Chain A
């Protein structure tokens, strides 16, 4: 049996990076403040000392430059793991992400690929300044050619990160910063992968299926516990948003006939809509109630005086679940 460590999610990021840096010389980690500073969230702490400036380095403050050069390195055969300091600051690189990272394989008829893992902390709830709290996973899932991963536990984080780095295609790896340090979990010391594209049932239930990911997984589970004895709630953590594990979603829905999608991102054009539509397409005959969405609002993420009103939490999710069940 292998040894384990009791790690927070952000420590698991670090541990995952370390494992892949050791395993494969072509892996390089870079971005703003990831070197000596160890990342503003300490996700790369100590890696600069351990692996040196060739493998872990600070760049000029230029997201388009960071992702653009990562694409060049990846096309050359390396495995770059660039960091966007916050997902809200990835937009200067958006052109490189969607116009090039996502399409180089298509455009070169697979001569070039972009095995890049673009890490970015996302989401609100930490009383951060403006532009530090957005959840824009839908932007990336909308783009063919990208994979999108959002872990919710330390153990998954390490395995999903390793799988992403080893993946031959570009992965946008979104880290829920709200739960970077919220709890710990035993994480194996050795490297391992958690396959991309597989959802995880966090709680079995028969009355209603809650589909969620990232930072919303915990309040969803809390809501399920609060309703226990009254409503039997299944909670499915999707973990990979692209490719999405449609089989698990449809299967769970066929069992319960009711679905609640919980996400922090705004409602309009969010992934909740995609999940609801797919359920209709693939399991209409099983449907007992409309799909309910519990989401952020269609407003810019507010400054922190109001952010707690913006984010779905257990009470709001419970309401959503009741609504689906009492239809």
Chain B
């Protein structure tokens, strides 16, 4: 039986909260290096996130959506992809995107308000989607095109629990089912859509069970257990790529998790949620969980952990320095990417802005 055949009202788990392997669970078949890489990437994501929030507080970055608490879901799922596969993110998948090749400075640049942060030329990553759930039909459409072209790419599409209320979620999954697309629909159920709790988003017992309505399998996984996420995501990717008799290729995964911080740096969660709720979820923290697992196997010791911590801090510091060293985008760039060929009207507007800048100087113009 595939792990994807688990009842969508039950939760797949591999690592218990204390880092031990749950009885009867099989640990996914990864090398020790890959386990360490999983651990390291989660630590990197956590540190990056903390630094990004602090940059925003210092006015060095714009509004930023934090991911702390969601590392396992992001890293575990993205590690299930091959290079040829595609990642279709919402706005919170900084860690998943990193795993799939996006640099940290690329992510920083976007949240620093520079459009070039969305330039992902050599990566199979779609630009950040801010309008909720709008990326879900895109993922289905990418899959339809892959079917048409007979490739074996897989498309992993991320969205939140709130997104499952939008029509686009329904339409995307429905197309995925009808056209049997190689798509993994991955819901990061972090319990809240800004201030609205999961229970007020849908009356379904689980989000995973919504899959039944689209004719595909749905599976709920402990989203703070990186091994369980990896296992479920790998099975879904495999089925999307190779198909199985009597099964649709797309899968809906609901990864149950929690965001520790605010929805974005513009939000104040103390208005709508209790601190002890956060503390309860911290007991499930994926990073110590994975660390314990690896220490128990003898793969990690104090020294190795210290090395990893240091390398993670260095990598993030270097990315921030690079991101802050980029020159401001030019005003020309505002006009250059609207159409393949700039219209006469836009050319005139671009010249007008140049004229304004030279007549007034940026200081006066931007006061």
Residues of A within 8 A of B (CB): 32-33, 35-38, 40, 58-65, 88-89, 91-92, 127-132, 267-268, 297-300, 302-310, 313-316, 319
Specify the chain A residue showing the minimal Cβ separation from B162: A61
Measured between beta carbons, the chain B residues less than 8 angstroms from A297 are 334-335, 346, 349, 353
B356 at the interface (CB under 8 A from A): yes
Is the Cβ of A130 less than 8 Å from the Cβ of B128?
yes
**Whole-angstrom CA separation of A36 from B349 in the bound complex:** 45
**Whole-angstrom CA separation of A309 from B166 in the bound complex:** 34
Partner of A64 from the list B167, B328, B343 (CB cut-off 8 Å) is B167
Is the Cβ of B128 less than 8 Å from the Cβ of A305?
no
Partner of A309 from the list B115, B162, B272, B365 (CB cut-off 8 Å) is B365
Partner of B365 from the list A33, A65, A315 (CB cut-off 8 Å) is A315
Measured between beta carbons, the chain A residues less than 8 angstroms from B195 are 33, 35-37, 58
The total number of A-B Cβ pairs within 8 Å is: 131
Is the Cβ of B345 less than 8 Å from the Cβ of A298?
yes
Main secondary structure of the interface of A (DSSP, over half): loop
Measured between beta carbons, the chain A residues less than 8 angstroms from B349 are 267, 297-299
- Which of the candidate stretches B14-22, B196-204, B282-290 sits at the interface with the other chain? B196-204
Specify the chain B residue showing the minimal Cβ separation from A95: B167
Partner of A40 from the list B267, B334, B343 (CB cut-off 8 Å) is B267
B311 at the interface (CB under 8 A from A): no
Is the Cβ of A305 less than 8 Å from the Cβ of B193?
no
Partner of A299 from the list B163, B200, B271, B335 (CB cut-off 8 Å) is B335
**Whole-angstrom CA separation of A303 from B118 in the bound complex:** 11
Chain B nearest CB from A203 CB (Å) reads 21
**Whole-angstrom CA separation of A306 from B165 in the bound complex:** 33
A60-B200, A61-B201, A92-B167 known; A298+B346 contact, CB < 8 A: yes
B338 at the interface (CB under 8 A from A): yes
Selected A-B contacts with CB under 8 Å, 6 pairs: A58-B196, A91-B131, A130-B128, A303-B117, A305-B112, A306-B115
**Whole-angstrom CA separation of A33 from B196 in the bound complex:** 6
**Whole-angstrom CA separation of A267 from B346 in the bound complex:** 10
Partner of B168 from the list A58, A88, A92, A306 (CB cut-off 8 Å) is A92
**Whole-angstrom CA separation of A99 from B356 in the bound complex:** 41
Is the Cβ of A131 less than 8 Å from the Cβ of B113?
no
A58-B196, A61-B193 known; A36+B329 contact, CB < 8 A: no
Measured between beta carbons, the chain A residues less than 8 angstroms from B201 are 60-61
Measured between beta carbons, the chain B residues less than 8 angstroms from A300 are 338
Chain B residue total in the interface (Cβ 8 A): 53
Is the Cβ of B329 less than 8 Å from the Cβ of A306?
yes
Specify the chain A residue showing the minimal Cβ separation from B364: A315
Chain B nearest CB from A8 CB (Å) reads 17
Is the Cβ of A303 less than 8 Å from the Cβ of B271?
no
**Whole-angstrom CA separation of A128 from B349 in the bound complex:** 24
A33-B195, A35-B195, A61-B165 known; A303+B345 contact, CB < 8 A: no
Chain B nearest CB from A58 CB (Å) reads 5
Which residues of B242-296 are within 8 A (CB) of A? 264, 266-267, 271-272
Is the Cβ of A131 less than 8 Å from the Cβ of B130?
yes
B322 at the interface (CB under 8 A from A): no
A37-B272, A40-B266 known; A299+B338 contact, CB < 8 A: yes
Is the Cβ of B196 less than 8 Å from the Cβ of A305?
no
Is the Cβ of A40 less than 8 Å from the Cβ of B165?
no
Is the Cβ of B346 less than 8 Å from the Cβ of A299?
yes
Chain B nearest CB from A248 CB (Å) reads 29
Measured between beta carbons, the chain A residues less than 8 angstroms from B128 are 130
Is the Cβ of A36 less than 8 Å from the Cβ of B63?
no
**Whole-angstrom CA separation of A40 from B264 in the bound complex:** 11
Which residues of B322-367 are within 8 A (CB) of A? 328-329, 331, 333-335, 338, 343, 345-346, 349, 353, 356-357, 359-360, 364-367
Which residues of B145-164 are within 8 A (CB) of A? 162-163
Is the Cβ of B359 less than 8 Å from the Cβ of A319?
yes
B194 at the interface (CB under 8 A from A): yes
B85 at the interface (CB under 8 A from A): no
Measured between beta carbons, the chain A residues less than 8 angstroms from B112 are 305
**Whole-angstrom CA separation of A314 from B357 in the bound complex:** 14
Measured between beta carbons, the chain B residues less than 8 angstroms from A304 are 62, 113
Measured between beta carbons, the chain A residues less than 8 angstroms from B272 are 36-37
B123 at the interface (CB under 8 A from A): no
Measured between beta carbons, the chain B residues less than 8 angstroms from A267 are 349
**Whole-angstrom CA separation of A24 from B79 in the bound complex:** 56
Measured between beta carbons, the chain B residues less than 8 angstroms from A130 are 128, 130
Specify the chain A residue showing the minimal Cβ separation from B336: A299
Chain A nearest CB from B108 CB (Å) reads 12
Chain A nearest CB from B336 CB (Å) reads 9
Measured between beta carbons, the chain B residues less than 8 angstroms from A64 are 166-167
Is the Cβ of A305 less than 8 Å from the Cβ of B328?
yes
B114 at the interface (CB under 8 A from A): yes
Measured between beta carbons, the chain A residues less than 8 angstroms from B329 are 305-306
Measured between beta carbons, the chain B residues less than 8 angstroms from A88 are 131
**Whole-angstrom CA separation of A60 from B199 in the bound complex:** 10
Chain A nearest CB from B191 CB (Å) reads 14
